[in-house]
Amino acid sequence: MAKANGSVVVDIERCKGCELCVPVCPPQVLAMSKNLNIKGYHYSEVVNENCTACTNCATICPDGCITVYRDKKIN
């Protein structure tokens, strides 16, 4: 079975920096930024392109700040 590829988009202005998404990401795609958003929180950011589209991060996010896109496979 082939691995799915995906991409993660974080709405950094809505993120409150709870850090719940970081440990649930198996390929460690997310990390907390050293920068602050407009509300003064360190936000989650994408640090690599190894997303498997598992959606763990989007599921656990209490504020719905994360969207995961699954790449279409062309056969």
Which candidate, 70, 71, 63, places its Cα nearest to that of 10?
Answer: 63
Whole-structure pTM value: 0.86
**Above pLDDT 90, what percent of the chain?**
87
Instruction: Give CA–CA dist 38/29, Å, rounded.
Output: 23
pLDDT of residue 70: 92
pLDDT of residue 2: 57
Q: Where are the domains of the chain?
A: 6-70
HSE-up of 40 (CA within 13 Å, CB side)?
A: 0
Topology given in CATH for the domain delimited by 6-70? Alpha-Beta Plaits (3.30.70)
pLDDT of residue 71: 85
Residues of the chain with pLDDT under 70: 1-3, 73-75
The set of residues, in sequence order, having a beta carbon less than 8 Å from that of 9 and lying 6+ positions away, is 66, 67, 68, 69
